[in-house]
Structure 1
Amino acid sequence: MGFLDIANVTKSYGKLEVLHRVDISIEEGEFLVLVGPSGCGKSTLLGMIAGLEGISSGNISIKGRVINGVHPSKRNIAMVFQSYALYPNMTVAQNITFGLEMHGVPKPERDKALGDVAKLLQIDHLLDRKPGQLSGGQRQRVAMGRALVRDPDVFLFDEPLSNLDAKLRVDMRTEIKKLHEKLKTTIVYVTHDQIEAMTLSTRIAVMYKGYIQQLGTPKEIYDTPANVFVATFMGSPAMNVIPAKVVVTDGMPYAEVKDAKGAAQHLRFSQQNLTAWDGREILLGIRPEAITDPEGADRKSNNIVPLINDVIVTEPAGSDTFVTMSLSGKDVIARMRADTDVRAGQRFDFAVNMDKAVAFDPSTEERIKP
């Protein structure tokens, strides 16, 4: 049993079930991110943990105590909203300590908690201001301070950075990560931004259409996606998913793909579990960084396979150059070093790290496991 357990939980509105048998066990101090596109059920699940949404079936428990039906104020959770939800007529100090005051915490304790949190979040100089006098990032810090000051069992974050500009989002992401590293608090964090999910979490639950598609560490989600949806949702640019045929030669399986001229090229798999798929169609998954020029290939890999193909487009992006080619009728993106000498229209020697390749069953779109 974990610190926070979500056991076989469903959510229905009338006959429409929008969350389907969700099972997640979260350990104390863990940072779990619920990620997925709009409408996948992540905010609904967060609302159920908070007590803002009812549970249709199953149980949610914190420290072994089932909290189904328990009023939000009795759950010892704190929530940071997308909209910050600050009281405009109160000062920063009043916003942060209002919840403590409502729970009857004596003023000396409130003042000490306020001082500690303000110092931690570096908002000491803002305590006498009102929300209307603050920037978006400052308001977000105040909202976090209001949650931190209560010392709850679980922190819930509902897309807290989505209203900030790109640079501030990166800065606040770092601050949240540093806070978690320092305080070791238990956090459930909702976002549709897969970069936030990858950088912040200790584990990720990828959601789609009310189902948990995959639950794992950022590395597990990125390197061994459970299905095509996870593969293409997590990562920027997304994983390349290429129609291919398995061809077994001398006991080793190869992925047969067609280059821009329609000629067959064979990419040897590192694992032999695909020999049973000889002659069958698959979907070949390769991350852009696993396709590069020979000099930029991973020196630790035991299986760098050459691929000659025509370059369609090059996109310089500062530290990287993204190169597009066509394989089996699909645009495929390679990630090159910034100084790679590659041009549109060129016949180019690519290097493919097949240690990083995964294969999917085209009928189910599930990963073919070793």
Structure 2
Amino acid sequence: MGFLDISNVTKSYGPVEVLHRVDIEVEEGEFLVLVGPSGCGKSTLLNMIAGLESITSGDISIKGRVVNGVHPSKRNIAMVFQSYALYPNMTVGQNMTFGLEMHGVPKPERDKALADVAQLLQIDRLLDRKPGQLSGGQRQRVAMGRALVRNPDVFLFDEPLSNLDAKLRVDMRTEIKKLHEKLKTTIVYVTHDQIEAMTLSTRIAVMYQGHVQQLGTPKEIYDTPTNVFVATFMGSPAMNVLPARVSLREGVPHAAVTDAEGTEQFLRFSQENLAGWDGREILLGIRPEAITDPDGADRNSRNIATLKNLIGVTEPAGSDTFVTMTLGGTDAIARMRADVNVAPAQTFEFAVNMEKAVAFDPKDETRIVP
């Protein structure tokens, strides 16, 4: 049993079930991110943990205690909202300690908790200001501080950075990461931003249409996605998913893909289990960084395949150059070094790291497991 247990949980609104038998165990000190597109059920699940939404069936337990039906104030959780939810008529200090005051915590203890957390978040000089006098980043720190002073069992974050500009989001992401590594708190964090999910989490639950599609570490989610949805949702640019055919050549399975001119080319698989798929159609998944120029190929890989193809579009992006070509009748993106010499309409010899390739069954779009 985990520190936070979500066991066979469903949520229905009338006849419509929006969350389907969710099972997640969160260990103490873990940073779990719930990620997925809008409407996938991630915020609903977070609100059920908080007690803001009722549970239709299943159980949610915190430290071994089932909290179904327990009032939010009795769960010892703290929540940081997207909107900050600060009281405009109170000072920063009053906002941060209001919850402690409502729980009857003596003033000396409140003052000490406030001083410790304000110093930790570097907002001690802001304690006498009102929220209207603060920047977005400062208000977010105050909202986090209000949660931290309570020393709860579980912290819940509901898209806390979505109202910030791009640079501030990166800065606050780093601050939240530092905070977690320092305090070892248990966090459940909701976002639709897969970069936030990858950089912050110790584990990720990828959600879609009320189902947990995959639960795993960022590396597991990125390298071995369980289906096409996870493969294309996680990663920027997304994984290339291309129509291909398995072809045995001298007893070794290869992916047969058509290039821009309609010629079939063969890329050797590292997964020998695909021999049983000889002659069958698959979906071939390759991350953009696994398709590059020969000099930029992974020196540690034991399976670099060569692919000659016509370049469609080049996109310089500072530290990288993205190259788009046609493979299997669809666009495929390669990620190359910034100084690589490439141009549209040029025939180029790509290096493909087939150790990083994954294969999906086109019928149900699930990964073909080695």
Q: TM-score, normalised by structure 1?
A: 1.00
Identity of aligned residues (%): 83
Q: Which residue of 1 aligns with 2:354?
A: 354
Instruction: Show structure 1 runs of 4+ deviating over 6 A.
Output: none
Which string of whole-angstrom CA distances, capped at 9 and with x for unpartnered residues, describes residues 181-216 of structure 1? 000000000000000000000000000000000000
Residue aligned with 2:342, SS: coil
In the TM superposition, what is the alpha-carbon distance from 1:251 to its structure 2 partner? 1.5
Q: Which residue of 2 aligns with 1:251?
A: 251
In the TM superposition, what is the alpha-carbon distance from 1:328 to its structure 2 partner? 1.1
Residue aligned with 1:141, SS: helix
Residue aligned with 2:129, SS: coil
Which string of whole-angstrom CA distances, capped at 9 and with x for unpartnered residues, describes residues 306-347 of structure 1? 000000000000000000000011100000000000011100
| Alignment partner of 1:25 is 2:11 | no
In the TM superposition, what is the alpha-carbon distance from 1:13 to its structure 2 partner? 0.4
In structure 1, what is the Cα distance between the partners aligned to 2:361 and 2:271?
Answer: 16
- The number of equivalent residue pairs is 370
Q: Which residue of 1 aligns with 2:105?
A: 105
Which residue type is aligned with residue 297 of structure 1?
Answer: A
In structure 1, what is the Cα distance between the partners aligned to 2:189 and 2:325?
Answer: 37
In structure 2, what is the Cα distance between the partners aligned to 1:345 and 1:129?
Answer: 60
Residue aligned with 1:29, SS: coil
Residue aligned with 2:267, SS: strand
Which string of whole-angstrom CA distances, capped at 9 and with x for unpartnered residues, describes residues 285-304 of structure 1? 00000000000000000000
In structure 2, what is the Cα distance between the partners aligned to 1:16 and 1:103?
Answer: 38
Q: Which residue of 1 aligns with 2:238?
A: 238
In the TM superposition, what is the alpha-carbon distance from 1:366 to its structure 2 partner? 0.1
Which string of whole-angstrom CA distances, capped at 9 and with x for unpartnered residues, describes residues 252-278 of structure 1? 100000000110100000110100000
Uncovered stretches (5+) of structure 2, i.e. residues with no partner: none
Q: Which residue of 1 aligns with 2:171?
A: 171
In structure 2, what is the Cα distance between the partners aligned to 1:44 and 1:252?
Answer: 47
Which residue type is aligned with residue 264 of structure 2?
Answer: A
Uncovered stretches (5+) of structure 1, i.e. residues with no partner: none
Residue aligned with 2:150, SS: coil
User: How do 1:1-370 residues align onto structure 2 when only pairs under 5 Å count?
Assistant: 1-370=1-370
Which residue type is aligned with residue 195 of structure 2?
Answer: I
Which residue type is aligned with residue 222 of structure 2?
Answer: Y
In structure 2, what is the Cα distance between the partners aligned to 1:362 and 1:271?
Answer: 17
Residue aligned with 1:339, SS: coil
Which residue type is aligned with residue 343 of structure 1?
Answer: A
| Cα RMSD after superposing both structures | 0.3
Q: TM-score, normalised by structure 2?
A: 1.00
In structure 2, what is the Cα distance between the partners aligned to 1:4 and 1:79?
Answer: 15
In structure 1, what is the Cα distance between the partners aligned to 2:150 and 2:191?
Answer: 23
Which residue type is aligned with residue 317 of structure 2?
Answer: A
Which string of whole-angstrom CA distances, capped at 9 and with x for unpartnered residues, describes residues 216-239 of structure 1? 000000000000000000000000
Residue aligned with 2:147, SS: helix
Which residue type is aligned with residue 355 of structure 1?
Answer: E
